Amino acid sequence: MAKKYEFDYDLIVIGSGAGGSAAATIAAREGKRVAIIESDAFGGDSPNWGDIPTKALLHAAILFDEARHGARFGLRSSTLGYNYPSIRAWKDLAVKRTGAGGNRSYYEKQGISAYAGSAHFLSPNEISVNRRHLSANYFLIATGSQWIIPDIPGLETIKYLTPRTILETIRPPKSLLIIGGGDMGVEIAQLMAIFGTKVYIVEKASRLLPHHDSEVGELIERVLGEQKGVTTLTHSRVVSVEKDGLLKRVIISRAGTEKSVKVDEVLVAAGRAPVVDMGLENAGIKFTAKGIDVNEYLQTNVKHIFAAGDVLGRNSHTHTALLESHVVANNVIRRNKITPDYTGTPEVIFTHPGIATVGLSEDDCVKRDLPINKAIAPLNIIARSNTSDFRDGFVKIITDKKGVVLGASIVAPHASEMIHELALAVKHKLTAADIASTPHAFLSWSEAVRVAAGKLS
């Protein structure tokens, strides 16, 4: 006799991005009956409109920029040009190669039921999708986040861009005003400026990248300004936007005075908000507009319903969402519950020079009243800066009074690769002396890490 199941599925995963896909795949491999629901493109933000396409475009842009400035090395490259439709075709190829974008069939091949549509909770064990009712023993909510559209008068009257829609523009605009000087704001500013766009960034904080150490934002502002002609307006906010012929007129308030800027396009990159509109109250789940509340095992207050990724409201990264998804899979399948260990999780911004940080920032330490030591090694003190003719950047390391590494920031070419030895140090409580005494290859950028650590040991 066929086994009778109380519910349609063992696990229903809502959202097929990094926070949902790993758990769905692991549970299916363990023989569980799994469904995954996606209201947009399968694969979620990262492979479709986030990390993959933007980094593919940035790679092409930085290569073009480096080659164009090759005269100092004896290269005749000043007449170099580009074809933007071909660059977009390269971006599409990178997305296709990665294979995680629009990958509904990937789930179905693994025996996972894939539903396209919006999920809505009817009760703690039942949801509806496209008028179908589905039930499960467990749920994982991994609906991610979306760009916040700020409440700016006139914004609704113009066609504005977001970091998602700018990927599809036919050509870079002549001029662009970016609202928000965070990670995505500076990446897009550099990308467009390299292709000849006149870029303005409006940021309400006192510096770009306000969540990072002050030296990081200050250096990137200088690099973008001096080398790419980007105008950064800090301590500023957009008061209103209006059409002005074919252009857009943006009124900006800065230190009590108003000025107006005319641009071809306006891009909104002023933060993201979790997607929590799915009838959570019908399941009795505690949440706010800032995200869903979970315990250390990533369970909501309704114990069989878990949440992971950006929907938690922590502005996490793709690699953090993947970590959480693995934890949820374990906690659904196994008796012994585990908790995610975020120690030593790096953050990376793919500008040139790259930006990478790990552990506590100086502001974090000040807020926690932690007595610290810190040291900065500018890139121009290592030999590699001479052979590559690149001097804009540094390595900064923060330790406690015993020399244990608490955090670090790197602004350098290949910062995303250099950060991992410092991530290892933060995760395993190594000291600056441990790093300084480890041989670092001559003529690698990582020598700057050894020099900064040496100042603290």
Phi, psi for residue 172 in degrees, rounded to 5: -65, 135
Q: How many CB atoms lie within 10 A of CB 348?
A: 20
Output the pLDDT for position 78: 82
Output the pLDDT for position 102: 87
Phi, psi for residue 349 in degrees, rounded to 5: -125, 130
pTM: 0.95
- Check if the beta carbon of residue 454 is closer than 8 Å to that of residue 436: yes
C-alpha 122/C-alpha 135 separation (Å) is 10
C-alpha 339/C-alpha 328 separation (Å) is 9
- Check if the beta carbon of residue 185 is closer than 8 Å to that of residue 178: yes
Q: Which residues of the chain have pLDDT under 70?
A: 1-4
Which residues 6+ apart lie within 8 Å of 451 measured at CB? 377, 381, 382, 395
Q: How many CB atoms lie within 10 A of CB 169?
A: 14
Output the pLDDT for position 2: 57
Residue 353 DSSP label = S
Output the pLDDT for position 4: 67
Packing angle, helices 214-228 and 183-194, rounded to 10: 20
How far lies 165's CA from each of 159, 169, 265, 268, in Å?
A: 11, 7, 12, 10
In 13-119, which residue ranges form alpha helices assigned H by DSSP? 18-29, 45-48, 51-68, 84-98, 104-109
Q: What is the DSSP string of 164-230?
A: TGGGG-SS--SEEEEE--SHHHHHHHHHHHHTT-EEEEE-SSSSSSTTS-HHHHHHHHHHHHHHH-P
Which CATH superfamily includes the segment(s) 155-270? FAD/NAD(P)-binding domain (3.50.50.60)
Token look-up 């700018």 returns 166
CATH architecture group of domain 347-454: 2-Layer Sandwich (3.30)
C-alpha 391/C-alpha 374 separation (Å) is 21
Using alpha carbons only, what angle is made at residue 206 by residues 226 and 260, rounded to the nearest 5 degrees? 70
Output the pLDDT for position 242: 97
Quick one: 309 exposed, middle or buried, by C-beta within 10 A (0-12, 13-18, 19+)?
buried
C-alpha 105/C-alpha 99 separation (Å) is 11
Output the pLDDT for position 3: 64
Token look-up 């980007």 returns 230
Token look-up 């008028």 returns 131
Domain ranges of the chain: 9-44+101-146+273-333, 51-93, 155-270, 347-454
Output the pLDDT for position 1: 54
How far lies 200's CA from each of 190, 229, 231, 315, 370, in Å?
A: 11, 9, 5, 24, 37
Residue 437 DSSP label = T
The three-class DSSP label of residue 69 is coil
pLDDT tens figures, 338-394: 999 999 999 999 999 999 999 999 999 999 999 999 999 999 999 999 999 999 999
Which residues 6+ apart lie within 8 Å of 336 measured at CB? none
Tokens at 253, concatenated? 């308030």
C-alpha 45/C-alpha 41 separation (Å) is 8
Which CATH superfamily includes the segment(s) 9-44+101-146+273-333? FAD/NAD(P)-binding domain (3.50.50.60)
Q: Do domains 9-44+101-146+273-333 and 347-454 have the same CATH topology?
A: no
Nearest C-alpha neighbor of 143 from the set 163, 129, 125, 160: 129
pLDDT tens figures, 217-259: 999 999 999 989 999 999 999 999 999 999 999 999 998 899 9
